[in-house]
Structure 1
Amino acid sequence: MTTDPRHLPVMSEEVCALLALRPGMRVLDATLGLGGHSLRFLEQTGGELEILGLDRDETAIERATANLAAYPGRLHARQMRFSEFETALDELGWDGVDAALADVGVSSPQLDEAARGFSFIADGPLDMRMGMADGGEPASNIVNMWSFERLRDLIREMGEEPQAGRIARAIVARREKTPFESTLDLAAVVEQAYPAKWRATARNHPATRTFQALRMAVNEELDELKDFLDRIVDRLNPGGRVAVISFHSLEDRLVKTSFKREATGCVCPPRQPYCTCGHVPRVRILTKKPLIPSPGECTLNPRARSAKLRGAEKLGAPLAELLEGIDL
């Protein structure tokens, strides 16, 4: 498999197996990136797939199209948020898809290119927007304008950072003198906010969790994922499968909860004597526990180590739906 050497698609073999890919399928790659997963899908099926690939990043779309050039006409690339997948499906005239993948981690080029503002290792503008055409609030606005309480809660909840209070307090104190403009400037303040003993023993850079929280807020990542999960089953063909790769406990919890809800019958309150919701199971969960990368993959691609993969398969239409309109 050939792809950009800086981007190895996470758990590509496991994803292919989970989606049960076959020639002739229509596939949604909701987070196209550089096209690593889509390329593997095409290689596995001899190029006999149609893929709709979405990404917010115009540069990623261009690179993915180039990386899949050996399979002309097989990729329909669209620059948009993955929560907008229904718009793209309707534009193509696709009622549904046979398989769908969402890999909700940030891509390696975005992390590696300092000008994108994601990195606390290389200096760049404090931006962090995945799609520059999206508009939206850059990270500099959050850091320079949010209240201490909002910053603290963001870093604590989305960054799962135990030093959130100290870090937010240090940010507020510093910005009163000079506003933050660059990534290394912010990273230095976060690092100094860490207790000395913590800095000495930390496995990762002290700014890791804070930058993660800011990135997730800037790109509305949890809302994007929730919107996708709320609607993807509607557009899966019967027997179609969806797989989601997440890198954060809050994301994984959303996926787990969504799949469990879709796989459940009645969702009325337990004390209610009879069902009024009419909810029926729509999917079969394929992963009782999330799949994780092998030790070998983590060695080759350390950024994969926190990945979790879950999948579900859409059931056939309920009997009542099949019989609708039939005169018995």
Structure 2
Amino acid sequence: MTVRHIGSACWRTIAVVALSAVIIAMGAGTANAKPSVKEYENQIEKQNSDLEGVVEDYNSITEDLKHTKHKIHVLEKKLHPYKVKLDKLYDQAEPIVDAAYETRGMGDTTAILDAGSPDIFVAKISSLDGIVASDSGVIGKLSHAAKKYQDAKDTLDDLKAEQSDKEASLKSKKKKITEAMDRLQDKRKEAFRDDARSRGENIDYVPDYVPGDRGKVVRFALDQRGKPYVWAAAGPGSYDCSGLVLAAMRQVGISLPHSARQQYGMATHISRAELQPGDAVFYNGLQHVALYIGDDYVVHAPNSGETVRIDRLDQAGMSYYGAGRFIN
């Protein structure tokens, strides 16, 4: 039997090929990896920042447009009496124009009288000011005053059109950003459920990502899911009901007492309809408190022998007592 020795150059070639295959496989795995919950949240934060700028610009241009429309309305009211007088003069002008035609050899009087509107009539008859001043000097005065207001109105009409275009453009941008955020919210929820399933947890409800301080409070409380209820505990390994709310609010620099009753006393009391993510919900004659996360769901530390979990608002305590707000 003949044994063939493979040269060192050949071994190097095989090694390079094998290493390349590993790198390609790793690259393919990375390329196919879905973004994490955190990555989606970062994208939502970026979109929300862009949206805030667009909304501010939209609100500003809407206010500007409102003021412009008001100015146009005021000018139109001022312009109206002049238009009424010009309408009457339009009807009375025929003998004046005829006289000018007969004595001064003016052009086609019909073309002037059939101008089609008082505004056009004023423009055409202005050429008669010097000629017919002895007959109707008031025409020049009225046409001058009307033109002054009409010029101002024309300027405002142009401004209104420009502002309306900006408003429409910003509205379109707002719609696109909002739609993009909705898609990211859906993808984040899917990633959130995948992450929970990987830990053996089945979640029916995933709240929307909420930017800002309210979101920080909600996300902290949600991250404590699965940790046991322990009386008088406020983390990091276990919680009771008021201890969870206390620890969550601490994330945004709000200090609360370790008592549901005292927390209610410190809160701004709000109606159930006013609840927003990050608000507190109180139960059982102020013996229990939970944190609202949206869509009639709360996260809370229920009682001894259970763990921090998500429940429907009406299932988190025996009887709803009230709601309170710590984050304005």
Q: Smaller-chain TM-score range? A: under 0.3
Greater Cα radius of gyration, structure 1 or 2? 2
Structure with more contact order per residue of length (Cα contacts < 8 Å, sep ≥ 6): 1
Per residue, is there more strand in 1 or in 2? 1
| TM-score, structure 1 normalization | 0.23
Q: Which has a greater percent of helix?
A: 2
